[in-house]
Amino acid sequence: MSFLKTTSSKKAVAGYRHSAEDAQENSVPLQREFVRAFAKKHNIEIIHEEADEGESGLTANRPGFRRLFDNWILNPDAPSFDYVLIYDVSRWGRFEDADEAGYYEFQCRQAGKQVIYARRGLPESEEQKGMFQVQTAFERWMSFQYVKKLSEDVIRGCLEISGQGYSVGGHAPYGMARMLLSAGDRKPIRIMKSGERKSVANERITFVPKGDQTTEVVKRIFSRFLAADSDINEIARELNEEEIPAANGGEWHRGKIYHILRNPTYKGTLI
């Protein structure tokens, strides 16, 4: 008989997490399916579930994680339950400080709840329970190392892409638009909408003139600045008198004009 099994049914709450960088096999639906099957096998009734979609495990400030603690684990008025079911150690969190992960698990024990990682199973004895604790400490360290390496790989990839002259994120400058380029020959595909992301990893994004009033304003700013009888304040005053909206809204002022004149994107350089 399992070390944690009893003749009566146990109750549990379950928590799931999937972040943007996680593989699809760690999706919340797949975690939920596995944990529910685990609970059924071991005669455990899941009375509540929380999930965090697209949330980093580097912090405990995740909506589902906080609700699990505030409304259930640490709430004396919550319905009685025995376990907190989690798919695996990495779903609990990828904390930089392993002691932080242990701190939240310790809070569960203080409240009389035991954290169970379903992928690992239930301990069969006190000795195995001790081995699980050692394994958990190691897996916590490995979870953060995974994020650290992933971060280094992302930075390296961004440097390589930007070194080739392509955008690695962010908004297009005033008067410019983001042009999507094909994965192979880097030919233009289309102008991207605000907030739109590329669907193919090998596609690239560059900035091109937007071709509307904002582009004409940029041309006008550079032309007027090069004229001997104009200065930045005068350019801003003229644009405001004509009620032309400034970059990011509001009125034009010296700072906004100066920002455009100093932006190397307008001469085809990406820094």
142 and 230 in a single domain? The answer is no
pTM above 0.75, yes or no: no
Is residue 184 included in any domain, yes or no? yes
pLDDT tens-place string over residues 46-95: 999 999 988 876 778 889 999 999 999 999 999 999 999 999 888 888 77
Domain total in the chain: 2
- Average pLDDT, whole number, for the chain? 81
Is residue 22 included in any domain, yes or no? yes
Contact 39, 12 (CB under 8 A): yes
47 and 139 in a single domain? The answer is yes
Rounded CA gap, 219 and 235, in Å? Answer: 12
Is residue 160 included in any domain, yes or no? no
The angle formed by the CA atoms of residues 86, 118 and 147, to the nearest 5 degrees, is: 55
Last residue of a domain, one of 110, 132, 147: 147
CATH of residue 94's domain is 3.40.50.1390
30 and 111 in a single domain? The answer is yes
Structural domain boundaries enclosing 123:
10-147
Bridge partner residues of 10 (DSSP): 44
210 and 96 in a single domain? The answer is no
143 and 18 in a single domain? The answer is yes
Is residue 159 included in any domain, yes or no? no
127 and 202 in a single domain? The answer is no
Q: What dihedral angle (degrees, nearest 10) is formed by the CA atoms of 242, 248, 253, 258?
A: -120
Last residue of a domain, one of 127, 147, 167: 147
134 and 23 in a single domain? The answer is yes
Is residue 156 included in any domain, yes or no? no
DSSP state string for 203-218: -EEEEEE--SHHHHHH
122 and 215 in a single domain? The answer is no
Contact 31, 57 (CB under 8 A): no
Which run of H or of E encompasses 233? Answer: helix 232-241
Last residue of a domain, one of 147, 166, 186: 147
Is residue 170 included in any domain, yes or no? no
pLDDT tens-place string over residues 139-198: 666 665 665 665 566 567 667 767 766 766 678 889 988 888 887 788 888 888 877 877
